[in-house]
Amino acid sequence: MLTALTAVAVLSGISLVGVYNYATPRIEVNVKAETRKAIANIFPDGADIKPVEGDEEMFSVKDKAGNLLGYAIIAEGNGYQGTIKMIAGVTADLKTMEGMEVLESQETPGLGAEIANKPFAGQFGGLQITHEIEYVKNQKPSQPYQVEAITGATISSRSVVNILNDSISKARKALEGK
C-alpha cells in the first residue's frame, strides 16, 4: 500500500521535473515578449528598451538614433476583481503620457475589461501628467488631464487612474532623485 503510493508520487515528481524544465524558459520568454510588445505599442519608434538601473519596474526607451523617447513604467495595483497590471508610457520630460497598455486584469468581461480596449485606453495617449489624472463620468473630458470613465465600470476606471497616478509619482521621484 505504502510502496504503491510512494512509487506513484516519485514517478509523478520525476515527470514533472521534466515538464518544468521544458516549460519554464519558454514561459519566461513569453512574459518578457509580452512586456516588450506592450512597450512597442506605446512607443512605435522605440528600438532600444532597457531596464532603468536599480529599478525593475521601469524601462527607458530610446529610438534608433539613441535619443531618449521616454520611460515605460510597470504599474500594478488593485482593480475591481483582482490585480490590474499595466504599462504606462511617459515622455522623457515626464509631462505627458505616451500611452497605456493593460497586461493583466481580472475585471468583468464586457464591462471592466474594456479598460484594455481603445475607447478607454486610447485616452491616455497625450494626457497631461503635470497634474494628477482625473476621471469624469458621462461627459467629455474638459481638461487635458482628464479621461472619461467607462459607463458601468466606474470602479475599474477609477482603479486604473489611481494606479497610474501612484506609479507615475513614484517613477518621478525615482528619476528626479538621480
Is position 17 an interface residue for another protein (rule: CB under 8 A)? no
Interface with another protein (CB under 8 A), residue from 41, 91, 108, 165: 108
Q: Are 114 and 155 in contact (CB under 8 A)?
A: no
Separation between Cα atoms, residue 94 and residue 74, nearest integer Å: 15
List, in order, residues 6 or more apart from 4 with CB less than 8 Å away.
Answer: none
Is position 128 an interface residue for another protein (rule: CB under 8 A)? no
Is position 118 an interface residue for another protein (rule: CB under 8 A)? no
> By rule CB under 8 A, what count of residues binds another protein?
24
CB of 130 to another protein, least distance (A): 35
Instruction: Please tell me the chain's helix, strand, coil percentages from 3-state DSSP, rounded to the nearest 5.
Output: 45, 25, 30
Is position 23 an interface residue for another protein (rule: CB under 8 A)? yes
Among 54, 55, 59, CA closest to 43: 59
Give burial (CB, 10 Å; 0-12/13-18/19+) of 56. exposed
Is position 47 an interface residue for another protein (rule: CB under 8 A)? no
Separation between Cα atoms, residue 132 and residue 177, nearest integer Å: 20
Q: Which range in 46-54, 90-98, 107-115, 124-132 contacts another protein by CB under 8 A?
A: 107-115
Nearer Cβ to another protein, position 18 or 54?
A: 18
Q: Which range in 27-35, 54-62, 64-72, 120-128 contacts another protein by CB under 8 A?
A: 27-35
Q: Quick count: other Cβ atoms within 10 Å of Cβ 87?
A: 23
Is position 9 an interface residue for another protein (rule: CB under 8 A)? yes
Which residues in 66-105 contact another protein (CB under 8 A)?
Answer: 104
Where on the chain is the footprint of another protein (CB under 8 A)?
A: 1, 4-5, 8-9, 12, 15-16, 19-20, 22-24, 26-27, 30-31, 34, 104, 106, 108-111
